[in-house]
Amino acid sequence: MPPLIVDVHTHVYPPAYMQMLRERKAVPYVHDPANKDEVPRLIILSSDNDPSIPLDQRGRPVDASYWNIDVKLSFMRQHGINCSVISLANPWLDFVEPQEAQTWAGKINDDLDATCAQVNQAADPENKLALDQKETLFAMGALPLSAPADVVVNEIRRLKTLPHLRGVIMGTSGLGKGLDDARLDPVWEALQETDSLMFLHPHYGLPDEAFGAPGVTNRYGHVLPLALGFPLETTIAVTRMLLSGVFDRFPKLKVLLAHSGGTLPFLAGRIESCILHERKFISGGGDVPGPQRSIWEVLKENIYLDAVVYGKAGLKAAVTASGSDRLLFGTDHPFFPPLSEEEKDWPSVTTNYKAIHAAFDTEAEAVADVLGRNAARILNLK
pLDDT for 171-220, tens place per residue? Answer: 999 999 999 999 999 999 999 999 999 999 999 989 888 888 777 777 78
Percent of the chain with pLDDT over 70: 98
56 vs 145: which has the higher pLDDT:
145
pLDDT of residue 283: 58
pLDDT, residue 209, reads 85
Mean pLDDT of 222-247: 95
Checking if the pLDDT of 286 tops 60, the result is yes
Residue 382: per-residue pLDDT: 78
Burial class (CB in 10 A: 0-12, 13-18, 19+), 9: buried
Q: How many domains does the chain have?
A: 1
The pLDDT of 101-125, averaged and rounded, is: 96
pLDDT in tens, 35-75: 888 899 999 988 788 888 888 889 889 999 999 999 999 99
Q: Please, what is the average pLDDT of the chain?
A: 93
Check if the beta carbon of residue 308 is closer than 8 Å to that of residue 284.
no
Per-residue confidence at 284, pLDDT binned at 50, 70, 90? low
- Across 73-98, average pLDDT: 96
Kindly indicate the confidence band of residue 128, based on its pLDDT and cuts at 50, 70 and 90: confident
Question: With 80 as the cut, is the pLDDT of residue 320 above it?
Answer: yes
pLDDT above 90 for 291: yes
What confidence tier does 259 reach under pLDDT thresholds 50, 70, 90? very high
Give me the domain span that covers residue 13.
6-379
Q: pLDDT exceeding 90 applies to what percent of the chain?
A: 77
Q: What is the pLDDT at residue 24?
A: 93
Bridge partner list, 281:
288
- pLDDT, position 21: 95
Q: How far apart are the first and last CA of the chain?
A: 20
Rounded to 5°, the CA angle 114-116-120 comes to 120
pTM of the model: 0.95
Of 188, 159, 163, 154, nearest in space to 174 by CA: 188
Q: What CATH number is attached to the domain comprising 368?
A: 3.20.20.140
Q: Is pLDDT of 361 > 90?
A: no
Report yes or no on 1 lying in a domain. Answer: no
Average pLDDT over residues 322-337: 96
- 184: in domain: yes
In this predicted structure, the answer to whether residue 114 has a pLDDT above a threshold of 90 is: yes
Whether 299 is in a domain gets the answer yes
What is the pLDDT, as a whole number, of residue 159? 98
Where does the pLDDT of residue 238 fall: very low under 50, low under 70, confident under 90, or very high at 90 and above? very high
Q: Is 20 among the domain residues?
A: yes
Mean pLDDT in residue range 283-291: 73
> Cα separation of 104 and 63, whole Å?
23
